[in-house]
Amino acid sequence: MTIATEQGAAARPLLSLRAINMTFGGVKALRDVDFQVMPGEVHCLAGENGCGKSTLIKVITGVYRPAPGAEIEFDGETIAQMSPAKAQALGIQVIWQDLALFPEMTVAENIAFQTLTGAKPRLVRYERIREIAEKALARLGVTLDVDRPLKDYAIAQRQIVAIARALVGEARIVFMDEPTASLTQSETDYLLDIVRTLSSSGVAVVFVSHRLAEVLEISSRITVLRDGKLVGVYPVEGMTQSKVTELMTGRTFDQAIRARAFEDAPVVLSVEGLSRDGEFSDINLELRRGETLGITGLLGSGRTELALTLFGMRKPDRGVIRLDGREVAFSSNRQAIAAGIAYLSEDRLALGLNQPQSIADNLVMASLDRILRGGLIAPDKKSSLVSRWIADLGVKIGMAEDPISTLSGGNQQRVAIAKWLATDPRVLILDAPTVGVDVGARAGIFEIVARLADQGLAIILISDEVPEVYFNADRVLKMEKGHIRASFDPRLTTLSEMEAAVYA
């Protein structure tokens, strides 16, 4: 283990944990982990999914009680027994990835929510609620209409509302779980400025993110966990993304451009003048057999709307879609699936998978017609299909009948991909396939993508993270405000040039 710090020897940690051990059903989730956060610092907690990050946060917030021998101190005070109520009273706040907000309530009601709850019924004073909300937003230098329903605001503003709510609770340390996973680059930059504002006001921030570039930009120190163990604590100065990745996974990854020429391959999918009013206009593209076509651009550029139209979920107002040179017009996604088009949604949790159902049921969901016998599901056919794709995509599972929610994000995504491959598609549309997936699992997913392309599958890879399409696509299209504005060949341009064009 390596411990390195920029803090002076006289500085006292705001939060200090020593000898933290947690075991679930014989599995050691945390093993002798030490963790410290200094007052006002921005600290990154890094590691692959399943490394123990969430478990550690739940120990800190009193949700889990560690094994005997653990020591927890906050601002010099030894905490004999942490509880959620005690953690809140100390000023420990957590903003989870799902934000835990109420879309139908107003911004003010969301921010002041904790002041509205209590053991005794009280009269609600809306003037006081507005005052609390506006004061919290002012601390962040943000102005929002606090009387508007939260659902009227984009995810970036909702993140700010969640932060403001934490400040109402007199936060002294805020844990932020994947706060930028659904944000554009400009929204991410704005949120990072908010984090800097928090830090300068003395509030410590613990940043949990798979986007290593922003981790290195915003943090002063990084604590790395791997398989429940502390790898080390490192200053950000001199650290690189590849070094952090190696520390997190224990492996090195070769980021090489995979782009190849496909001018002579047969065209599988072509689009001419495709338009949907208010979403995208005059889209022209070709996708060839074995080619991976990248589409990037900021959120709101029309990428997902285009994908949903190709998949039959939305009807275009104008234009033509052709498969193998034959014009098609889908009125439903069932027709698109039957024609050989598959679509992996960017929202794995809400749209891609059914979390309470089993791994097996999720995998066969889109290909039930292939496992029927006499109009009923044939258990042997189902088992054979599930076993084939679990093995082919290297999904790590216990039993196929376990709930899909028991799997890590990376393994859930592999099941979601397998679900569509089981339909035997000719075109696979991957919409942000690595959202919420750690760096090691990302590499595995892109290895699958490359293998599928080598086997002749035509792939559309959509991502707002330019490096993903730069390193994994053969061609890259930039969408902006519903139009294709540029086309790139990764072999003929640099990553920085592409990023500058996309984020301009």
Beta-bridged to residue 74, according to DSSP, are: 15, 77
Question: Considering the domain boundaries, does residue 345 fall inside one?
Answer: no
Give the domain-ending residue among 424, 454, 486.
Answer: 424
* Residues 457 and 317 placed together within one structural domain of the fold: yes
pLDDT at 410: 79
Predicted structure pTM score: 0.68
CA dihedral over 213, 352, 470, 271, signed as positive or negative: negative
* Residues 240 and 305 placed together within one structural domain of the fold: no
| CA 15 – CA 157 distance, rounded (Å) | 29
Q: Are strands 42-46 and 204-208 parallel, antiparallel or unpaired?
A: parallel
pLDDT at 381: 94
Give the domain-ending residue among 424, 439, 468.
Answer: 424
Q: Indicate the DSSP class of residue 327.
A: E
In single-letter form, the type of residue at position 275 comes to S
Beta-bridged to residue 326, according to DSSP, are: 323
pLDDT at 121: 63
Angle (deg, nearest 10), helices 241-249 and 439-454: 100
What's the total number of domains in the chain?
4
* Residues 178 and 235 placed together within one structural domain of the fold: yes
pLDDT at 436: 67
Nearest to 283 by CA among 484, 495, 436: 484
Chain centroid to Cα 292, Å, comes to 22
User: Containing domain of residue 410, as a range?
Assistant: 353-424
Angle (deg, nearest 10), helices 185-200 and 495-503: 90
pLDDT at 8: 43
Around Cβ 39, how many Cβ atoms within 10 Å? 17
* Residues 462 and 498 placed together within one structural domain of the fold: yes
pLDDT at 82: 94
Around Cβ 93, how many Cβ atoms within 10 Å? 24
* Residues 16 and 145 placed together within one structural domain of the fold: no
Give the chain's end-to-end CA distance (angstroms, integer).
Answer: 42
| CA 478 – CA 489 distance, rounded (Å) | 12
In single-letter form, the type of residue at position 185 comes to Q
- What does 55-119 look like in DSSP terms, one character per residue? HHHHHHTTSS-PPTT-EEEETTEE-SS--HHHHHHHTEEEE-TTTT--TTSBHHHHHTHHHH--S
* Residues 9 and 70 placed together within one structural domain of the fold: yes
Tokens for 52?
């123990």
Question: Considering the domain boundaries, does residue 6 fall inside one?
Answer: yes
| CA 274 – CA 318 distance, rounded (Å) | 6
pLDDT in tens, 284-324: 999 999 999 999 987 778 999 999 999 999 999 999 999 99
pLDDT at 317: 97
pLDDT at 352: 77
* Residues 403 and 443 placed together within one structural domain of the fold: no
Indicate the SS3 state at residue 450: helix
pLDDT in tens, 132-173: 999 999 988 888 999 999 988 877 788 889 889 888 878 999
| CA 89 – CA 193 distance, rounded (Å) | 27
What residues in the chain have per-residue pLDDT under 70? 1-10, 116-122, 181-182, 184-185, 253-254, 348-350, 436, 438
pLDDT at 122: 65
CATH number at residue 54: 3.40.50.300
Angle 200-197-190 from CA coordinates, rounded to 5°: 150
Yes or no: say if 76 and 14 are a contact pair by the CB < 8 Å rule.
Answer: no
Q: Encode burial over 442-476: b for 16+ CB neighbours within 10 A, e otherwise.
A: bbbbbebbeebbeeebbbbbbbbbbebbbbbbbbb
Name residues whose C-beta falls within 8 Å of residue 457's C-beta, 6 or more positions apart in sequence. Answer: 290, 425, 426, 427, 428
**Residue 286: exposure state from Cβ atoms within 10 A (0-12, 13-18, ≥19):** middle
Question: Considering the domain boundaries, does residue 347 fall inside one?
Answer: no
Nearest to 404 by CA among 456, 346, 363: 363
Beta-bridged to residue 35, according to DSSP, are: 17
Question: Considering the domain boundaries, does residue 13 fall inside one?
Answer: yes
Greatest Cα pair distance in the chain:
76
Give the domain-ending residue among 149, 170, 191.
Answer: 170
